[in-house]
Chains A and B, each alone.
Chain A
Amino acid sequence: MTRERRILIVEDSDDDYAAMMWAWEKAQIKTPFVRYNDGESALEFLKRSASESDPRHGDLPALVLLDLNLQRQDGRAVLAEIKIDCCLKSIPVVIMTTSANPKDLEACYALGANSYIVKPFELTEFKDTLQKLVAYWMEVVRLPSSGENDANQKVKAAVDRR
């Protein structure tokens, strides 16, 4: 069964999520998405999706939109875990944050973030940004398929056996 691949949104603020949904709608983005409001459950979802034994296997998202300021586990930690997991690391992770701090920016790229976006304060601007972002990642670029993820898994299995 092939479903259209989804975007994983990790956002803990319901207000920000509401604004995002509003912009999503206004921008007429058709790509399906799934939202998790904390880092732990998002990671758990990602790991389950990557596991062969799980019924949801193969349901890995095409893109992760990750907020940095999360409750408990911080966005940077979530990013780091994704980027060291050989089954997950090829999924592009786009950081969406209110922090314009150069230190945050540098740290995220160093951890393997694929993009770093400072959320525009103005909602209309935010809508435009979101529109461009989704268009770029879902239409302009080519992303690795689930099959390539399978290849990764085979490498991992081989490594595990040794």
Chain B
Amino acid sequence: MGTSAPATAKEQKLDLTNCDREQVQFISAILPHGVLIALREPDLTILQASLNSSELLGIPAQQLLGSSLATVLDHDQFTKVQELSHVADLAIPQHLFRATAGEAEFDVLAHRSAGVLILEFEKRTASRLNDQDVIDMYSEIRHTLARLGAAPNVQVFLDLAVSQVRKLTGFDRVMAYQFMPDGSGWVRAESLQEGEGLQPYLEQHFPASDIPEPARRLLTKSWLRHQPDIGYTAVPLLPAGNPATGEPLDMSCSVLRSVSVMYTGYLKNLGTQSSMVMTLLKEGQLWGLIACHHHRSPRHVAWEIRTACEFLAHMVSLLLSAKQELETRDYQNKMQSVAGQWLNILSQADDLCAGLRRLCPNLLEFVHAGGAAVFMDGEIEKQGNTPSDEQLRVLTNFLSIDVDRHLFATDSMAGELPESASYKEVASGVLAIRLAGGLKHFMLWFRPEQVQTVSWAGDPNKPVDITADGQRLTPRTSFALWQETVRLKSHPWLDIEIAAARDLRAAILEFVLRKAEKLGHLYEQLQHSHSELDTFAYVASHDLKEPLRGISNYSKMLQEDCGEELGAEARARLKTLGRLAQRMDSLLDSLLEYSRVGRIGFSDAKVNLTEVAEDAVDTLLMRSGNSNVEIRIIPDLPVVTGDQVRLGEVFLNLISNSIKYNRNEKKIIEVGAEPVGSGGTVEVYVRDNGIGIDAAHHEQIFQIFRRLHGRDEFGGGSGVGLTIAKKIVERHGGKIWFESLPRVGTTFRFTLKTHNPT
């Protein structure tokens, strides 16, 4: 980095991604508090040595090159290193022994990198630890592990981890830092030295570029890295490359490896003098870091303590998964148990809508959300903070566009439906499930816009400052809290929330399906008993007619043949007998007709209501020959779908009633129609100026054989006309009703489906 020409730098997005190309592991330089020696096995000839060997070990690097390691170590130490040739796996530095050179004491660590054995002599500068200290430290760690294991959730767990690391190491600041899906970092927990006026970073977010890709890669390779003094001067290796191959030494796992200038610059800008970073993995993936900073002075952490910290980081990593799983499982269990309760409630309801209405007060129990709603084909029930009914209508219309999209989850609704920005305060995030294929039934949850919630450590879009001459990029210096207003976005929906919503939908649909099956079965039974009833009515009335005819016939014969002998009274009774039989016969005819309307198939054709009404009027006027009747048919009655003959009967029945129950000089009857609702349905009316129907009788008017007037008043009738009209309308899928005022008139209304050519 830092080598790009200024022009290029300006064109590029200015951030630390320039670092992404820097290969830190081949830096060929080390931190100054130790000596690195690279060796060829098995003869242990020195290939490379750090330039500070004369200063720390008393032998100039130049002199070491090509000679045996025996020039540095005593016999026992040399033998120990020799024995390493039998150890195949030596990827991670191992503590071999302690060595001294003059006054200085060193921890000698060995590891192997690309076939080269690397010995690192780390100078012990920290306060000495005696055996008791080490024993105390391990009992402290054991105690910590027990407490970590008992932590009820991730937050408590991380708080505990950072405070224990600070206790062990004495750093001013220890943070648990989680990588977010976008690569940015979020300080989840922080332990801070009090009384030093240190600015807390807790809850702050750091841009992804703060820890560039190569650094992140290296984080997964070693559990712990420590820079005791950020202000160090790097010590180069001599020679820079392997003398045999010319390749630079791969120092990925080296304890003493020098770091990028960019990184030390960054830490300096944070006011850090010493740092230690531990990797947190979750299921093998980089989850986050425990980052330790010391602000007051450089700070060297002894190898033993680092090992203890490393061990702690291992344990935190292992337990982290379990803690998160515990949290996730608790949440999942909660969602599942709510879904279970809901299905229970639904199963007790008569239908889906009734059930959903009963769920409404508890909608927010299911997922973390600010508001929720149930949309049932236009009917809306809400809970919490939600968009308005009208906005919900537009939203569900949008969700209905793709009929195959049963589940919808977004944390930025405005990105999908721009007008939803107007209700971003309540519903920037939307989670919705569609409950029925054909109908618009939705269950929705809303999350508010997540404003002022991201606190960046500095402006995330300006992580790099350009120096005055514009020639160099330096890591950003502003870490003051910079609150970014994240517009039109909510907290994202978690995978488990989306999965739970999907499961809930599947369970509700299954319930709906089962209910439909049950209803279908009931409908079949009903159909069956219905048709049995019709058959019964037909057969019964048919078979009743025959004996009735006999009664009528014999009474007639008696009257005619023996009339003289019977006398006047008996003759009159015989006549009455005949008349009663005749009326019963006409009642049976009506019953037959009624049962026939139930049994016969109706056609499903295009019917012009104007023609049907005109035909009915012609028939009636021809029959009654009434000159004081005026029937007006409003022009252009709609074209409907149905059975022409049967619809004609409806008009016949209604209009003939209008004529019959009318005492006016001028009987005026009007037939018309009006569209209703969203289309597809028309309301037809037959209005008269007749005697009207008393409100007390409104219930009975459609009942079979129900007559409101004396048998011979108003020209008589069997009392089946309206019953048949009702049955015909209902078999067309319509409704029939009336409005009436006594002595003013009656308007009968019925609905039919308009004809749809497709």
* A15 and B550 contacting across the interface, CB-CB below 8 Å: yes
B556 A98 Cβ-Cβ under 8 A: no
Complex contact A22–B589 (CB within 8 A): no
B562 to chain A, nearest CB (A): 12
Q: Which residues of chain B have C-beta atoms less than 8 A from A19's C-beta?
A: 549-550, 553-554, 557
Partner of B546, one of A13, A26, A123, A124: A13
Choose among B553, B560, B582, B596 the residue that contacts A101 (Cβ–Cβ < 8 A): B596
- Indicate if A71 sits at the interface (CB-CB under 8 A): no
Bits for B580-605, please: 1 = Cβ < 8 Å to A, else 0.
01100100010010001000000000
User: What chain A residues lie within 8 Å of B547 (beta carbons)?
Assistant: 15
Q: Which of A16, A119, A122 contacts B550 (CB 8 A)?
A: A16
B542 at the interface (CB under 8 A from A): yes
Interface assignment of A99: CB less than 8 Å from any CB of chain B: yes
The answer to whether B258 has its CB under 8 Å from any CB of chain A is no
A100 and B553 in contact (CB under 8 A), knowing A121-B582, A122-B582? Answer: no
Complex Cα distance A123/B596, Å? 27
Does residue A18 face the partner (Cβ distance < 8 Å to B)? yes
Q: Are A121 and B546 in contact (CB under 8 A)?
A: no
Which among B542, B552, B553, B578 is the interface contact of A18 at CB below 8 angstroms? B553
**Proximity string of chain B (525-562) to chain A, C-beta cutoff 8 Å, 1 when within and 0 when not:** 00000000000000000100111011011101100100
Across the interface, do B589 and A98 meet the contact criterion of CB distance under 8 Å? no
Q: Which residues of A contact B581 (CB under 8 A)?
A: 121
Bound: A19/B578 CA distance, A? 14
Tell which of A22, A69, A99 touches B553, judged by Cβ atoms closer than 8 Å.
A22
Contact with B along A1-35 (1 / 0, CB 8 A): 00000000000010110110010001000000000
A69 to chain B minimum Cβ distance, whole angstroms, is 8
Q: How many residues of A contact B (CB 8 A)?
A: 17
Q: Pick from A69, A123, A124 the residue with the most CB of B within 10 Å.
A: A123
CB distance from A57 to the nearest CB of B (A): 36
Docked complex Cα distance between A19 and B554 (Å): 7
- Which single member of A22, A69, A121 contacts B552 (CB below 8 Å)? A121
Chain A nearest Cβ from B556, distance in angstroms: 4
Q: Give bound CA distance, A43 to B110, whole Å.
A: 121
**By the criterion CB–CB under 8 Å, are B545 and A123 in contact?**
no
Q: In the complex, what's the smallest C-beta–C-beta distance from A133 to chain B, in angstroms?
A: 17
B: number of interface residues (CB 8 Å): 19
Partner of A123, one of B556, B585, B589, B592: B556
Contacts of B545 in A (CB 8 A): 98
Decide if B557 touches A100 in the complex (CB within 8 Å): no
CA distance in complex: A2, B542 (Å): 42
**1/0 contact trace for A102-127 toward B, CB 8 Å?**
00000000000000000101111000
Which residues A88-102 have CB closer than 8 A to chain B? 98-101
Q: Which listed residue, B546, B552, B560, touches A122 by the CB 8 Å rule?
A: B552
Nearest chain A residue, comparing its CB with the CB of B555: A123
**CB proximity of B584 to chain A, nearest CB, Å:** 10
A124 nearest in chain B by CB position: B556
**A15: B residues at CB distance < 8 A:** 546-547, 549-550, 553-554
Cβ A123 vs Cβ B557 within 8 A: yes
User: Closest Cβ of chain A: how far from B555's Cβ, in Å?
Assistant: 9
Chain B residues lying within 8 Å of A69, measured Cβ to Cβ, are 542, 546
Q: How far is the CB of B345 from chain A (nearest CB, A)?
A: 51
A85 CB to nearest B CB, Å: 29
With contacts A122-B582, A123-B556, A123-B557 known, is A99 near B542, CB below 8 A?
yes
Alpha-carbon distance A124/B556, docked complex (angstroms): 8
Instruction: Mark contacts of A61-97 with chain B using CB atoms, 8 A cut-off: 1 yes-contact digit, 0 otherwise.
Output: 0000000010000000000000000000000000000
Q: Are A98 and B552 closer than 8 Å at their CB atoms? A: no
The residue in chain A whose Cβ has the minimal distance to the Cβ of B582 is A121
CB distance from B263 to the nearest CB of A (A): 97
**Which chain B residue has the least Cβ–Cβ distance from A26?**
B560
B550: A residues at CB distance < 8 A: 13, 15-16, 19
For residue B585, which residues in chain A have a CB less than 8 angstroms away from its CB?
Answer: 121
Q: Which of A18-56 contact B (CB under 8 A)?
A: 18-19, 22, 26
For residue A121, which residues in chain B have a CB less than 8 angstroms away from its CB? 549, 552, 581-582, 585
Complex contact A16–B549 (CB within 8 A) = yes
Q: Is the CB of B552 within 8 A of A123?
A: yes
CB-CB under 8 A for A100 and B560, given A13-B546, A15-B553, A121-B549: no
- Distance to closest chain B CB from A24 (angstroms): 12
Which residue from chain B places its CB closest to the CB of A13 in the assembled complex? B546
Within the complex, what minimum Cβ distance (angstroms) separates A26 from chain B? 7
Q: Distance (Å) between the CB of A102 and the closest chain B CB? A: 9
Measured in the bound complex, the distance between the Cα atoms of B542 and A99 in whole Å is 8
Of A16, A99, A100, A121, which is in contact with the most chain B CB atoms at under 10 Å from its CB? A121
Q: A123 touching B542 by the CB < 8 A rule?
A: no
| From B549, B552, B560, B596, residue with most partner A Cβ within 10 Å | B549
Contact residues in A for B589 (Cβ distance below 8 Å): 100
- Bound-state Cα–Cα, A98 to B548, Å: 12
Task: Name the distance in Å between A99's Cβ and chain B's nearest Cβ.
Answer: 7
Chain B 338-369 residues near chain A, CB threshold 8 A: none
Pairs A–B under 8 Å by Cβ, sample size 16 = A13-B550, A15-B547, A15-B549, A15-B550, A15-B554, A16-B550, A16-B553, A18-B553, A22-B553, A26-B560, A69-B542, A121-B549, A121-B552, A122-B556, A123-B552, A124-B556
User: Which 3 A-B pairs rank lowest in CB-CB distance, beginning with the nearest?
Assistant: A123-B556, A15-B550, A19-B553
A-side residues, CB < 8 A to B, are: 13, 15-16, 18-19, 22, 26, 69, 98-101, 119, 121-124
Q: Given A19-B557, A121-B585, output 8 extra A-B contacts at Cβ < 8 Å.
A: A15-B546, A16-B553, A69-B546, A98-B545, A101-B596, A121-B549, A122-B552, A123-B553
